[in-house]
Amino acid sequence: MTENPDVTAVAERTALAWQRTTIGLLAIGALLVRWSVVERFALWPGIMLTTAAALAGLVLVRRRYQRVRAALLAGQTPLSRYLIPGATAVVLVLVAGVGAAILLEYSRL
């Protein structure tokens, strides 16, 4: 059975969007680590964000690609009830944690 090229294209666009988001989070984490080194703050917030973004990218991009492709091949909508809100919640918690760590470091000055 041959696969519809539109299904593959939609799944690939979704995977690329997740990859761009992961790359953005990795860049923010790297900038945070650099800023922490220059300002002599704790490195763990930047390392935590970078590590979490890398692991999430490794797991979520492939998983989302497979789910979108399978849903489209089955003739269903690829909308996710849990993955996108869950990923959003994780990113918000990470950003809040990093922000709290920065505030904590500034309060010690």
Local structure of residue 81 (DSSP, 8 states)? S
What is the reported pTM?
A: 0.63
pLDDT in tens, 86-102: 888 888 888 888 888 88
Residue 109 — very low, low, confident or very high, per pLDDT cuts 50/70/90?
A: low
**Domain locations along the chain:** 5-107
Higher pLDDT, 38 or 64: 38
- Percent of the chain past pLDDT 70, that is, above it, reads 93
Q: Which two tokens stand for residue 30?
A: 């790297």
40 φ/ψ sector (left φ>0, alpha ψ -120 to 50, else beta) = left
Range of lowest pLDDT (39-43, 69-73, 79-83, 100-104): 79-83
User: Cβ distance 97 to 31 under 8 Å?
Assistant: no
